[in-house]
Amino acid sequence: MIPRLVIISALVGFTGCASQRGGVTEAFPPASHAWPWVRSTPVWSGSPKQAAAALGDEARKITQLAPQRIWLARYAHDNDPQQSLTVRAYGFDSEERADDALANLRSGEDPPFEIADGGWWTQDGVLFRWKRFVFDIFGNDPAGLATPEQAGFLSAFFEQRLNDTDPDAPK
């Protein structure tokens, strides 16, 4: 699995996904900058209460983690738009709260994923922390194109863009 991560990092570095220093919204790769994953929705941001409908069955669990803000977006596969990856980012008031949330969101059996300030492979994607934020990237069809490995691929674009992001910007 390590060679995949090296290849992902090299591809992201080669494609030059740089952004201006802005808020978390700027970390979401626009349009086709994470090809073959194309952002198919604008990045939505709001309070946990506002996000409840979009979070579905997980709304209660997420709300109990007490994020201050939530960001949501969907990426469709260029060749098969029915295949998609969902990205959720949760903003907390401290890195410690983000660590607690990460521990509550992951299963104890998830293998580690080397990214940002620590991450984990999940059954359908990846979960990781960057500063006071937790990112959850997962697919709608792990048997198709939207696999955990593809979520890991997309996360590499986020990691590079996060390095150019101000974690305290209000966006």
Segments in 46-166 forming alpha helices (H): 48-55, 59-64, 95-105, 148-162
Residue 127 is predicted with a pLDDT of: 96
81: amino acid identity, one letter: P
pTM: 0.83
Q: What element of type H or E holds 8?
A: helix 2-15
Q: Mutual orientation of helices 2-15 and 148-162 as an angle, nearest 10°? A: 50
pLDDT score, position 4? 40
Q: What is the pLDDT at residue 18?
A: 37
DSSP for residue 24 = G
Chunked mean pLDDT (size 10), the chain, 171 residues:
37 36 83 92 95 93 96 94 94 96 91 93 94 94 81 91 68 46
**pLDDT for res 11:** 32
Separation of alpha carbons 74 and 37, rounded Å? 9
List beta partners, residue 133.
Answer: 91, 130
Question: Would you state the structure tokens that stand for residue 82, as one six-digit string?
Answer: 């029915």
**pLDDT at position 145:** 81
Burial letters 115-151, b for 16+ CB under 10 A, else e: bbbebbbbebbbbbbbbbbbbbbbbbebeebbbbebb
